[in-house]
Amino acid sequence: MKSIFLNRYFHPDHSATSQMLSDLAFALAAGGQQVHVITSRQGYDDAAALLPAREQVDGVEVTRVWTSRFGRMSLVGRAIDYLSFYIMAVWALWRIARRGDVVICKTDPPMLSVVIAPVVWMRSARLVNWLQDIFPEVAQGVGIGRGELGGTAFSMLRRLRNRSLKSAVANVVLGERMQQRLMQLGVPPAAIRIIPNWADGQRIVPRSHESNALRQAWVSPSDFVVAYSGNLGRAHEIDTILGAMELTEKRAQLAEAGDATSDTAPLPRIVWLFIGGGSLMHELQSAVARLNLSSGIFLGYQPQSELSESLSAADVHLISLRPELEGLIVPSKIYGVQAAGRASLFIGDPDGEIGRHLARTDSGVSIAAGDSAGLAAVVHELAAAPARCRRLGNNARRALEAEFDKPLAMKRWTALLDEISPRQK
């Protein structure tokens, strides 16, 4: 018996789905299990990459299939990339899968389990859906496929998707809100397991500002840094952030002009640090330049080996999710932020998965989407209260260690796989 994972990206790719899959695959292989990964030869931010078609990495057999290479910037090109991956992944799985194997299907590309499920059934294997998001509801939530034709197509896709969910021996979701969504779709509770994503608390550790070379290179020692790290795309929004940047700069200008009223008392300089990429990252950078805002710094993705320094360079981190996508996505960047011992400012539904977690663990603050004034006020409050900011960050690290550290997730996954595929004694 072997575990076969399917996802469009895998090690050494840096994307979130690749990192989660790579951690789990390598951990299972290190524990003596037979692990095979079917993936593409592309990189998340490099469609032209040509990774080896076959190789063994740390005990994991990797099959990388051919796909078209249009990349993520065009919806039509992305759809063609998806289609080519579906076809080639189905063929690879047909050749690799055997009776009793467990096929763990992720959600990149969307609807992958729909095309994979028949092969799993014909090969007498067992299907596990590892849901990083719920499609096509996510597409509808970000405004794709509007109109009568789109509604008809999505209705058909939902029926096919629901069939693949109900045919699986387990559907792994990231939180309670996502579990509730699946139950509303008619998936039996016994076929749903909550296994949150994670961060490696040994690889990502808190770094003091004084010992952090990246922070020293990026900002001044006295600055208060509000960071966003990772992909900033359609599931997020930037208007709240942009409005808060304008308000913090306006307050700073009033203070510099000598207005000594209580709400313009001197504060550290507020710096907004954006690290990563995505369609909205480019849009935000253009808007910051257009508005002539001087407090924004934009940097590309940082090497994984420098994540401790990169994430610890901030005093607080931004996390964003459009409220209509609650229960469909759980932003995974929170786990790295908490591993670095930093508080989170969540822009979205305060009663969502992240909002509930921050309130329960006292490791951050939730701000409703659209409330730029509320976000700016929280930033000013934390900049003026470094002790409170450190307390929230310490609570975040404790929450990571108690709930979302990598070894805990590996135990949860191992227990699930042992349960659904008992090994012969």
**What is the average pLDDT value for the chain, to the nearest integer?**
94
pLDDT above 70 as % of the chain: 96
* Closest-CA residue to 302 (of 225, 214, 209): 214
pLDDT at 423: 58
**Which amino acid does the sequence have at 42?**
Q
User: Looking at 75-89, 144-158, 308-322, which range is the least confident one?
Assistant: 144-158
Using DSSP's 3-state secondary structure scheme, residue 105 falls into strand
Checking DSSP bridges between strand 60-65 and strand 54-57, what pairing results, if any? antiparallel
Distance (Å, whole) CA 96 – CA 78: 26
Backbone torsions φ then ψ of 258, nearest 5 degrees: 95, 10
Buried b (16+ CB within 10 A) or exposed e, 99-130: eebbbbbbbbbbbbbbbbbebbeebebbbbbb
- Residue bearing tokens 């096919």: 160
Q: State pLDDT tens for residues 348-401.
A: 999 999 999 999 999 999 999 999 999 999 999 999 999 999 999 999 999 999
Q: Is the pLDDT at 260 greater than 80, yes or no?
A: no
Backbone torsions φ then ψ of 333, nearest 5 degrees: -65, -20
pLDDT at 257: 83
* Closest-CA residue to 213 (of 221, 222, 224, 205): 221
Token pair in block for residue 136: 């096509």
Domains, the chain, with CATH or none: 3-198+405-420 (3.40.50.2000), 209-404 (3.40.50.2000)
Q: How far is CA 17 from the centre of its chain?
A: 7
Model confidence band, residue 424 (pLDDT cutoffs 50, 70, 90): very low
Q: State pLDDT tens for residues 123-140.
A: 999 999 999 999 999 998
Mean pLDDT of 221-238: 95
Q: Dihedral (C-alpha) 106, 31, 101, 194: value to the nearest 10 degrees?
A: -40
Mean pLDDT of 199-215: 97
Q: Is the pLDDT at 425 greater than 50, yes or no?
A: no
Q: State pLDDT tens for residues 372-383.
A: 999 999 999 999
pLDDT at 76: 87
Q: Is the pLDDT at 417 greater than 70, yes or no?
A: yes
Q: Which helix (H) or strand (E) holds 26?
A: helix 16-30
Handedness of CA 186, 4, 44, 116 (dihedral sign): negative
Using DSSP's 3-state secondary structure scheme, residue 340 falls into coil
